[in-house]
């Protein structure tokens, strides 16, 4: 039979167990509330992120890859590189920070080495682009520029537009400013097909857009686009010769050498006249006269009338 002490002990244990259970349930309740608050905060932050407005535009990889890389070669146009980035940035709504980022990404070889060593000190687009232009703007000599122009001809499977744009880029590197109309003969001279050369020479375009439109028309329509009457193959008409720029330069050098030779000959004649004490060219000099005996044929120092010369003869 249970005593009072056993009942009291059992009641105390039950009360303690109930209290511990209430504490455990309260802890679970608090943890659940904390999880709900955390989830609510995350949902609120996500809603704020969605409704905060449009995100800042980032340069598209495809657009960036469309910009030609800049190596820093002598035949590259650094000003054209900067202008290309500015045009793309305007159409893509880029910031100056985006322009600087894209400009650095398109540098390779020598230009990239310049940026790693010194260019990184320019932290904004304005100063960085000016520094790049300053370091890679080279003024070619006429001989170097002419060699680039003569070597750049239309390659096999190269479209006329690709050739024209790249060749005109080289024309802009001329030591003296070259207008578009003056660059047209150089573009015509490098065309691959003589039919295109003949069509362009017959009616030369006035500018680069007209040249591109004309060469595209010739490539699409073929040889018949240059005239209404096809040439008679039985006549064996030779292809027209493109402008011979090398011969023109050779003639110019010959004229220059001839002018220099004429000036040198004039200078030689004037010096010979000066040595002749003002006499006419080719005139004979007067005979030598001794001022002691007034005879000709010897100088006074060798005159036989002088005592020292007489004693020496004895």
When pLDDT is averaged across residues 33-62 and rounded to a whole number, the result is: 72
Judge whether 163 and 154 are in contact, CB under 8 Å: yes
Whether pTM exceeds 0.85: no
**What confidence score (pLDDT) does residue 36 get?**
78
Half-sphere exposure at residue 103, Cβ-oriented, CA atoms within 13 angstroms: 36
Q: Given a cut of 90, is residue 27 above it in pLDDT?
A: no
**What confidence score (pLDDT) does residue 226 get?**
42
Q: How many Å apart are CA 140 and CA 259, to the nearest integer?
A: 27
pLDDT band for position 39 (50/70/90)?
Answer: confident
Q: Name residue 289's beta-bridge partners.
A: 296
Q: Which range among 222-226, 265-269, 285-289, 291-295 shows the weakest confidence by mean pLDDT?
A: 222-226
Q: How many Å apart are CA 152 and CA 245, to the nearest integer?
A: 14
In tens, the pLDDT along 172-222 reads 888 777 888 889 999 999 999 988 999 898 888 999 999 999 999 998 886
Displacement of CA 45 from its chain's centroid (Å): 50
Q: How many Å apart are CA 289 and CA 294, to the nearest integer?
A: 6
**What confidence score (pLDDT) does residue 228 get?**
44
**What confidence score (pLDDT) does residue 253 get?**
65
pLDDT band for position 229 (50/70/90)?
Answer: very low
pLDDT band for position 134 (50/70/90)?
Answer: confident
């Amino acid at each position: 039979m249970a005593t009072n002490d056993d009942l009291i002990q059992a009641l105390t244990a039950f009360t303690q167990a109930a209290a511990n259970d209430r504490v455990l349930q309260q802890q679970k309740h608090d943890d659940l509330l904390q999880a709900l608050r955390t989830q609510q905060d995350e949902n609120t932050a996500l809603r704020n992120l969605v409704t905060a407005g449009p995100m800042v535009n980032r340069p598209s990889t495809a657009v960036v890859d469309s910009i030609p890389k800049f190596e820093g070669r002598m035949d590259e146009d650094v000003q054209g590189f900067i202008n290309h980035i500015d045009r793309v940035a305007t159409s893509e709504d880029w910031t100056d920070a985006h322009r600087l980022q894209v400009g650095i990404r398109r540098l390779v070889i020598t230009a990239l080495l310049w940026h790693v060593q010194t260019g990184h000190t320019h932290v904004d687009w304005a100063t960085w682009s000016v520094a790049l232009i300053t370091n890679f703007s080279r003024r070619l000599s006429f001989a170097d520029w002419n060699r680039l122009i003569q070597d750049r001809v239309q390659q096999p499977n190269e479209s006329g537009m690709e050739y024209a744009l790249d060749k005109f880029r080289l024309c802009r590197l001329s030591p003296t400013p070259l207008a578009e109309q003056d660059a047209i003969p150089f573009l015509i001279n490098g065309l691959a097909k003589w039919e295109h050369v003949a069509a362009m020479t017959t009616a030369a375009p006035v500018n680069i857009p007209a040249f591109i439109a004309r060469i595209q028309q010739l490539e699409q329509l073929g040889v018949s686009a240059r005239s209404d009457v096809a040439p008679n193959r039985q006549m064996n008409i030779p292809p027209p010769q493109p402008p011979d720029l090398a011969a023109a330069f050779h003639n110019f050098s010959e004229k220059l050498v001839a002018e220099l030779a004429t000036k040198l000959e004039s200078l030689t004649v004037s010096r010979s006249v000066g040595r002749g004490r003002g006499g006419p060219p080719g005139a004979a000099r007067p005979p030598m006269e001794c001022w002691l005996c007034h005879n000709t044929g010897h100088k006074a120092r060798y005159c036989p009338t002088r005592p020292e010369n007489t004693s020496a003869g004895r």
